[in-house]
Amino acid sequence: MEAIRHIDEIRQTVDKLKKQGKTVGFVPTMGALHEGHLSLFRLAQQRADEVIVSIYVNPEQFGPGEDFDEYPRSLDEDLALCSEEGIAAVFVPTDDVMYPGKRFLRIEVDELNDHMDGKSRPGFFEGILLVVNKLFNIVKPDIAVFGQKDIQQFRILEQMVTEFNHDVELIMGPIKRANDGLAMSSRNAYLKEDQRRRAPGLYRSLRYVKQQILDGATNIGLLLDHQKKELEAKGFEIDYLEVFSFDRVAPAGEVTSGNKYILAGAVYLGETRLIDNLIVET
């Protein structure tokens, strides 16, 4: 397995695979790999002949005061995992490779980032669109796999693929969870022992609300308020806990039959921000 740092080299690697008649899957990551990432690698391997992974902590998606400097980095261990998983090549660019010189252009997002993480983290999705747009242009994969845990990211990238005419199929991999239900995340490493024990509470709240909706509950606002209070009593600080429309990623207001929704939450335990979601189809 090759660890490739330069754009021309990763392009040559992909071109070689395609000339052999192979389809190429792609999984972009920021490293600190865990079982959630590996599940995406395996899903990509089911859908493509060879898989390329990128490892790059993208500074453009971190706002002022966020954890760019502290974000866990473990490149040697990550490369070993990629090799064990049969990844064809890993693209590990530097900032100078991804963002050489002054930039005169930028990408804006309208409406799809008004809520959820887009509201809480201004500039976050613009930074993601910038780097993924560049990575798609560099790697030119046939398919790309992203996790459901970052479901708003997936919806915005779907729109980018459509509006920018990228010739790539996006696939959303299911959330990989620990035995107690906590959604796997590189940032879980920040949790202290007692926080880690409490952390699955968000998932349990989401699961309870989803079941109530499927059982016919109509006063969703009251249901969510009750769960917010339950979480706050357990030491969680609520960023959001809401039902959103799947297509526009906007608060649903009410849930009606025959539609698809995102039931999502973001909370803090101490300094650690946790996100999770469930898809609800009525």
Catalogue the active-site residues.
Answer: 37
Q: Is 86 left (phi over 0), alpha (psi -120 to 50) or beta?
A: left
**Nearest in space to 123 (alpha carbons), one of 59, 61, 78:** 61
Query: CA 191 to CA 182: how far, in whole Å?
Result: 12
Instruction: Extract the tokens encoding 238.
Output: 């609520």
Burial class from Cβ neighbours inside 10 Å (0-12, 13-18, 19+) for residue 179 reads exposed
Number of other residues whose CB lies within 10 A of the CB of residue 262: 22
The answer to whether the beta carbons of residues 151 and 264 sit under 8 Å apart is yes
Please report how many Cα atoms fall inside a 13 Å half-sphere around the Cα of residue 30, on the Cβ side. Answer: 20
Query: CA 72 to CA 82: how far, in whole Å?
Result: 17
